[in-house]
Structure 1
Amino acid sequence: QDEIRRPAEFAPKFVAALPGAAFRWVEECGHSPHLEQPDALAAAVRAFLDSGPDAVAGDDDVSEIVRLANRGALEKLADGVKELDAFLDTPILDPNERGGPLEPLKAFVRSEPETAQVAASVLALTFFFVLARGLVAVLG
């Protein structure tokens, strides 16, 4: 019943990050088992410390939640990769597109691509340098 860290999203991450740990569902409990079910938590910790993970009572089957979460995560990852690819494939300035207010700049890029690339790099470095100096002045 955790409303802060949804079990479907976070249980698989905990299971993967802590392979030697014992996982048990705590019924009628939200995000803070030490406050909501202190006796159940204390008993589980004591059993784990005394006899190991197999001694902790309760339901430890997280296979279904891991399967569902992994399927959802893979679908989200695939969608995110597609969106990122589309974004990265969109040119900021397409020199082959004629006209518009940036036509002189586009003509320069078409005629001198190497020089235009160096100029863009210098401009980007200058921008980030000025930005960093501004942040240092404001923050520090």
Structure 2
Amino acid sequence: MAYEVIGKLVAKYDTMQRSETFKTREFVIEKSDDIGGRIITNYIKFQCVQDKTALPDKFNIGDELKVSFNLKGSKWSKDGRENYITNLDAWRLEQAGSLAQNMQQNTSSTKQDFVPDADPGDVVDDLPF
């Protein structure tokens, strides 16, 4: 399932070689929302894997980005205890600038921050009215 979010790039880190065949790179965006007249700021850390680790290179700190990403989760056991980890795997970064301003002007206070991509044909309208 794919998601998108728009925010300001505030950090990008070096690529980490996790194993002989696996590498990752993390970056952080800042996303602020006006909720009932109060500005709430969140910092969201994403990771890029393998051939996507070069994606942040095209952007500078302070740039407004649209990040397309997938939610990934895994489970493992260690010493009889179950552990879970969730990753936000970014697979596309785009300059957002005016796109972000247009989206904020055209959305209502009931908008969702993370909206999954959906095929309109997959949406079932089963409301009784």
Q: TM-score, normalised to structure 1's length?
A: 0.19
User: Greater Rg, structure 1 or structure 2?
Assistant: 1
Q: Kindly indicate whether structure 1 or structure 2 has the higher relative contact order, using CA contacts under 8 Å at least 6 residues apart.
A: 2
Normalized per residue, the structure richer in strand is 2
Normalized per residue, the structure richer in helix is 1
Q: TM-score, normalised to structure 2's length?
A: 0.20
